[in-house]
Structure 1
Amino acid sequence: MLEGCTPWPERVAAEYRAQGYWRGESLGALLRTAAEKFGPRTALVYGQRRTTYAELDEWADRLAAGFAGHGIRPGERVVVQLPNLPDFVAICFALFRLGAVPVFALAAHRQTELRHLCELSGASVYIGPAVHRGFDHRELGQALRAELPHLRSLFVVGEPAGDVLPLPSADPLDLPEPDPADVAFFLLSGGTTALPKLIPRTHDDYAYQCRTAAEVCELTADDVYLTALPIEFNFAWGCPGVLGTLQAGGTVVVAESPTPDQCFPLIEREGVTVTALVPSLTQIWVEEAAWTASDLGSLRLVQVGGARMKPEFVRGIGPALGCTLQQVFGMAEGLLTFTRPRGSAEHVLDTLGLPISPGDELSIVDEGGAVLPPGSTGELLTRGPYTLRGYYRAPEHNARVFTADGFYRTGDLARLTERGELVIEGRIKEMIIRGGDKISAGEVEAYLVEHPAVATAAVIGVPDEFLGERTCAYVVPHGTPPTLNALREAMFRRGVAEYKLPDRLELVDALPLTPIGKVDKKALVAIRELAAIREERDEHQ
């Protein structure tokens, strides 16, 4: 286990092995086993390019040998920032086999976020696209290396430039198998404070998560999974996602964009049976499904998760898309709950289902930590065979969010039904979920107060029919009041991801405070709700 990671206690780890949850499999071996069993079958589809299991296996081997030839060693961290490309899959399997540790960055991240990830992880390598959507990642990589001496190697998918190298390839090597208990890769936390934390996922725990999620979804070798969401998301990567589909021998279709004009023709052409969406995207799909010329009849299961949905909207998803809806609650930290494909309509409509594993432990507690009876609302705590025991290099934070006996405090307000199904009622943590992207209010506030025209600021999420939530910044100005565009431009120039830029600006003389002097965000929410009522009334007058 890497230094800075929190392992499962030996007694607990031994029990998970005895129960058969952890089978001592590395993620690199997952592909090897699949290639031996399904060699000539199609593993990946991207545009007109089709890659068999045998070809993907060899591709990963050659990349692993190429990376080794550039001095990348077991345990080294590698920031991987790629859009939806088949190269992402091959690169990750190559690094898994080498024992190097990918750090999954979002394609939307820019210098601020990537610098943080490189510094926190101690990454020595960056892999990105040459150019994506008009943005030159080669220049970004070079700017990062100029700041970070430990970042020694830059690779790109696409046209190299200067000392930014193309992906290496070499004759396969006989590499030692990594310890399945070791960290395989890092996912990013939603980041309720400051920038994201790193979530270590081991070979053992993630192989189990993918396998179990695939079983609950009843995946077989006949299934075709569409990667509509960003491939680096936990949801798309392993719930069951790409890895669960490959374990089952199915085919993964990689979509460049999640929009219906991109995905609907792929569903018809490839006979897609399963995909995963966030609610804002689901709304677009539902609306477009009524007008599309594409045949969506192959779809059997659509997973939707990432934000709360209104019951009347949930009720219409399955009929609109002609398939079964599976509501999902999940987190990169671990716990997954799914409604079951063969569950009752009420089960799918009213809950987020049951945990995928018998080893998952859920507890609802009050503010004092006392366990509440079924039906009561409190904070959701969890632990289990694929839920982390600690964030990477975050001892102070870990002391706050983990109990002494290893339960993770999720920050979600929830209740459990008599059958043990999960219902999420809200969030304790200050996090805004905008179209599936998680935004830390504290991080945005920190950027805003850097602006010379801002004295202080507070950020809240406001309801939005399309995105679920949008960010609203309450700002006390310093001197000439700033405009929303000025604040957005300043954050963009600073290198902040576009989805984090505030959507709305409210200028105020002062921020409301609680009795102990903290900003009262509940009061801000109430103010915004009252303003929304007035705005709606004025529109109808």
Structure 2
Amino acid sequence: MTLTLNDLLPAELRRSWVVDGTCPGLDLYSLFRARQIADLHRTAVLDAKGKLCYTALDRKVRCLATGLRALGVAEGDVVGVQLPDNRNAVIADLALAALGAVALPFPVGRGPLEAEGLLRRAEAVAVIAATDHRGSRHAADLRALVPKVPSLRTVVAVGPGPAPEGTTPWTDLLRSDPGGFVPARPDPDSAVRILVSSGSEAEPKMVAYSHNALAGGRGNFLASLVPDGKPPRCLFLVPLASAFGSNGTAVTLARHGGTLVLLDHFSPDAALAAVREHRPTHVLGVPTAVRMMLERLDTTDGALPAPTALVLGGAPLDETTARAAAEAFGCPVVNLYGSADGVNCHTGLGSKVPPTSTSGTVAGRPDPRVAEIRIAAPETHEPLPDGEIGEIVSRGPMTPLCYVGAPDLDARYRTPDGWVRTGDLGRLDADGVLHVVGRLKDIVIRGGANISPAEVERELRSHPEVRDAVCLGIPDPLMGERLAVCVVARGEEPPTLEALGRHLAAAGLERRKHPERLLVVAEIPLTAAGKPDRAILRERLTGGPGATRHGVSGAVPLARTP
């Protein structure tokens, strides 16, 4: 079964980027193989098991690809991957690329309810998952989904521990003889990876990327932060399965021949230890992770070895965090504005602390070798003059093919000539620098992870004690934002925050999506257009001018668990 994924960019544009050298015009496995041949024993991965060189990694990749092919995984098939950040996730990425298959990674910790929707909509034929990770039994949970997902045939279970009944052990596949394996040679402009982004939809969006869009467009983003051109050593503090993490296998290894430094699970102490021990050239994470690291930093251990850059994205970066991080890490802090939908812009290495502006977040000067950015009128999509605020739209070498199984999203977020509508508001100043001033779409970014209020609201409204619910983000110095819920009770006794959490857990929503503050209101205030007035609700939650309007019948304070 092969999922149809149409490229919404004009074909002549894609070809022009290969002709002028912007994109490599090779599939990811071929790029990786060339890097392996060029430096056989360079370290590819550093994880809890130690070092893994390019040649040893390639052998494991070929073994896995041989085993998956024997199970019937073919070119164009979609295969889900739910693994922690270690060498196994990298092996899976490259093996699927070698088969010409399409990887659909999603982070460990995501519950089976969300996984079912992803696998079904992507028509996945197989999924590779951990048997046990921090108490989550992903392989067993996903095996239970096989009767519910018509396309799903195979679940590969990755240890530790025995493989659940009905799954295929990863270790068996790695014993395959790779001697006769012949890799596929897929079109470099065909799909190789599906990025998952919660965005502002009730269900996570899935975005299909080609080999060229990852290695070329996203690869050029990292190239701009490698001033000496030497292979980078990148410490990822975000999941490889995230959009930010797609700069791991495809970009750091296949495009740049570098080294991945990986943590199975983020903790500030483990991250600081990795910086000291492995001396990465680039540390990539979200502002929340760095704030946690700064809180735990013990200066008596001496100064941290200075990377080339600390690259922070996924959530707004405040000046206080940027200055503290620049001082502690002794390197430029790069503010990255980007998303799975196909936009990327950053502030570069020109200053230690990203520039600031009173009219929005400074996101840097767009790089046309990554993504051209313009400002358009939200309704007509017509370009606006420099200085005017409008919707940020993007098109370039990193632009994805399309949304997966969602023609409605293609119609909503892609223009007829291939531009991606971000849903964000911004302006370009006279120097061509992008300023991000707000969001048209309403998502909550908690510690760099996107939470869809629509998804949580939908489940909360099914609670027997809830008549109406509106979720929104409120500022938080550690996490950036936290999710709050405003509830109209159905009876005289309003539900507690704990009761709402239990209800969401029973519905299959993981803990990160549970509200951390509850505000009980007599009614939901509405705007003139008849929509919930989130601005007034946010004022009430934060103690602003609206806090005394319309009356509040009860509140639960913000939880402080990160």
Do the structures match in fold with TM over 0.5? yes
- Spell out the pairing of 1:41-52 with structure 2 (5 A cutoff): 41-52=42-53
Aligned partners of 1:466 and 1:316: how far apart in 2? 14
Alpha-carbon contact 1:225-1:242 (below 8 Å) kept: no
Alpha-carbon contact 1:186-1:199 (below 8 Å) kept: yes
- Secondary structure in 1 matching 2:445: strand
Q: What residue in structure 1 maps to residue 166 of structure 2? A: 163
**Counterpart AA for 1:171:** D
Matched, 1:232 2:232: no
Q: What residue in structure 2 maps to residue 416 of structure 1? A: 428
Task: Give 1:359 deviation, angstroms.
Answer: 6.2
- Secondary structure in 2 matching 1:404: coil
Task: Give 1:243 deviation, angstroms.
Answer: 3.3
- Spell out the pairing of 1:277-288 with structure 2 (5 A cutoff): 277-288=285-296
**Counterpart AA for 2:143:** Q
- Secondary structure in 1 matching 2:96: helix
Aligned partners of 2:489 and 2:331: how far apart in 1? 51
**Counterpart AA for 2:212:** D
Aligned partners of 2:314 and 2:307: how far apart in 1? 21
Task: Give 1:132 deviation, angstroms.
Answer: 0.7
Unaligned stretches of 5+ residues in structure 2: 549-556, 558-562
The TM-score normalised by the length of structure 1 is 0.93
- Secondary structure in 1 matching 2:155: strand
**Counterpart AA for 1:330:** G
Does 330-339 or 481-490 show the bigger shift? 330-339
Task: Give 1:295 deviation, angstroms.
Answer: 5.1
Q: What residue in structure 2 maps to residue 468 of structure 1? A: 480
Once the two structures are superposed, what CA deviation does each residue of 1:322-369 show, in whole Å capped at 9, x if it has no partner?
222111111112221122213475647862212233463212123443
Alpha-carbon contact 1:339-1:348 (below 8 Å) kept: no
Using a 3 Å threshold, how does the CA distance of structure 1 residues 16 and 77 change in structure 2: closer, same or farther? same
Alpha-carbon contact 2:314-2:338 (below 8 Å) kept: yes
Task: Give 1:48 deviation, angstroms.
Answer: 4.1
Aligned partners of 1:469 and 1:384: how far apart in 2? 30
- Secondary structure in 2 matching 1:252: strand
Task: Give 1:446 deviation, angstroms.
Answer: 0.4
- Spell out the pairing of 1:206-245 with structure 2 (5 A cutoff): 206-218=214-226, 220-221=229-230, 223-238=232-247, 241-245=248-252
Matched, 1:392 2:401: no
1:335 to 325, 339, 343: 343
Alpha-carbon contact 1:268-1:298 (below 8 Å) kept: no
- Secondary structure in 2 matching 1:419: coil
Matched, 1:175 2:173: no
Root-mean-square deviation over aligned CA pairs: 2.3
Q: What residue in structure 1 maps to residue 99 of structure 2? A: 98
Q: What residue in structure 2 maps to residue 24 of structure 1? A: 25
Alpha-carbon contact 1:213-1:244 (below 8 Å) kept: no
Aligned partners of 1:203 and 1:250: how far apart in 2? 18
Unaligned stretches of 5+ residues in structure 1: none
Using a 3 Å threshold, how does the CA distance of structure 1 residues 279 and 137 change in structure 2: closer, same or farther? same
Aligned partners of 1:80 and 1:413: how far apart in 2? 33
Aligned partners of 1:334 and 1:528: how far apart in 2? 33
- Spell out the pairing of 1:131-170 with structure 2 (5 A cutoff): 131-158=132-159, 159=161, 160-167=163-170, 168-169=173-174, 170=176
Q: What residue in structure 1 maps to residue 533 of structure 2? A: 520
The TM-score normalised by the length of structure 2 is 0.90
- Secondary structure in 2 matching 1:374: coil
Task: Give 1:286 deviation, angstroms.
Answer: 2.3
Does 379-388 or 460-469 show the bigger shift? 379-388
**Counterpart AA for 1:30:** L
Task: Give 1:469 deviation, angstroms.
Answer: 0.7
Task: Give 1:216 deviation, angstroms.
Answer: 0.4
Using a 3 Å threshold, how does the CA distance of structure 1 residues 110 and 516 change in structure 2: closer, same or farther? same
Alpha-carbon contact 2:341-2:422 (below 8 Å) kept: no
- Spell out the pairing of 1:46-445 with structure 2 (5 A cutoff): 46-158=47-159, 159=161, 160-167=163-170, 168-169=173-174, 170-172=176-178, 173-218=181-226, 220-221=229-230, 223-238=232-247, 241-246=248-253, 247-291=255-299, 293=301, 296-343=304-351, 347=355, 351-358=362-369, 360-369=371-380, 370-445=382-457
Alpha-carbon contact 1:354-1:422 (below 8 Å) kept: yes
- Spell out the pairing of 1:5-16 with structure 2 (5 A cutoff): 5-16=6-17
Using a 3 Å threshold, how does the CA distance of structure 1 residues 137 and 344 change in structure 2: closer, same or farther? closer
**Counterpart AA for 2:377:** D
Q: What residue in structure 2 maps to residue 37 of structure 1? A: 38
**Counterpart AA for 2:225:** C
Using a 3 Å threshold, how does the CA distance of structure 1 residues 276 and 292 change in structure 2: closer, same or farther? farther
Aligned partners of 1:408 and 1:471: how far apart in 2? 27
Using a 3 Å threshold, how does the CA distance of structure 1 residues 176 and 6 change in structure 2: closer, same or farther? closer
- Secondary structure in 2 matching 1:51: strand
Aligned pair count?
Answer: 534
Identical counterparts, % of pairs? 31
Alpha-carbon contact 2:540-2:547 (below 8 Å) kept: no
